[in-house]
Amino acid sequence: MLTTLIRRSVLRIRDDLAIEFANTAHNPSDPAGSLAGWRDLVDFLELRGALGRPELETLRAMGETDARRGADAFEQSLKLRETIRSVLGAMAAGKPLRASWIADVNEVLAHGMGSERLVRHDATWRLGFVPLRPEPLRALAPIARSIGDLISAGPVGEVRRCANPRCVLFFRDRSRTRRRRWCSMAICGNRIKVATHLRRQGRRAGP
C-alpha cells in the first residue's frame, strides 16, 4: 500500500526519477532498502507520477495474478538499481561509464517500446502511451529512461554524492552556484554542522 511505502521512504529527496530510485537503497545492510517487493515498486512509480493510472493498475494486477513474474521483475529492478548507482557514482566522480552499464540500461529501455494512442479516460479520450509488451518489466522503463536522460546530459547533469561520508544518497545539483554539498540540509547538512561545532568546542575546552 502507498502508506507502507511512505513510511519506509523516510529519506526520500525530490529529484530525477532514476536518482530517487537509486536512493531507495539508503540502508546498505538491507539489499532491498525501502522497497520490499513488487507492490512497493509500483507504489514508488505511482507516487512519482512515472506511469498513468491504467498502466499502474495493470502492473499491480499482474503482480497479484502472477506472483512469480512480479517477484522476478522486482529482482530485475534491484539489479537495475545497482547499475544506476554505479552509473551515478561514476558520474559524480567524473569517471567514464562502463559499456556493461549502458547495455543494462538499454535492455530495460527495450521493454518500454510502444506508441501513442487515444485511450479512454472516464468519459473523454486522451493520448496515452501504450506499451507493445504488457509485462511486469514494463514498470522499469521510465526509470531506465530517466537514467538515460542523465547519461545523455553528460557533465551538465551535475550528479553529486552527498558529502557526508556516512551517507549513500545521490542528488542533482540545480543550485545557482552549483556548490551544493548535501543530499539535504535538514538531514546531512545540519548533522555535519553540529558535529563540526562540537569538535571545535571540544578543542577549545582542551583535555
**Model pLDDT for residues 98-120, shown as the tens digit of each residue:** 999 999 999 999 887 777 777 77
Helix (H, G, I), strand (E, B), or coil: what is residue 118?
A: strand
Give 171: exposed, middle or buried? Use CB within 10 Å, 0-12, 13-18, 19+: buried
How much of the chain, in percent, has pLDDT values that exceed 90? 36
Check if the beta carbon of residue 11 is closer than 8 Å to that of residue 47.
no
pTM score: 0.78
Domains of the chain in start order, with CATH, are 2-205 (1.10.3300.10)
Indicate the helix (H) or strand (E) that contains 117. Answer: strand 114-121
State phi, psi for 120 to the nearest 5 degrees. Answer: -75, 135
State pLDDT tens for residues 50-93.
888 888 888 999 888 888 888 999 999 999 999 999 999 999 99
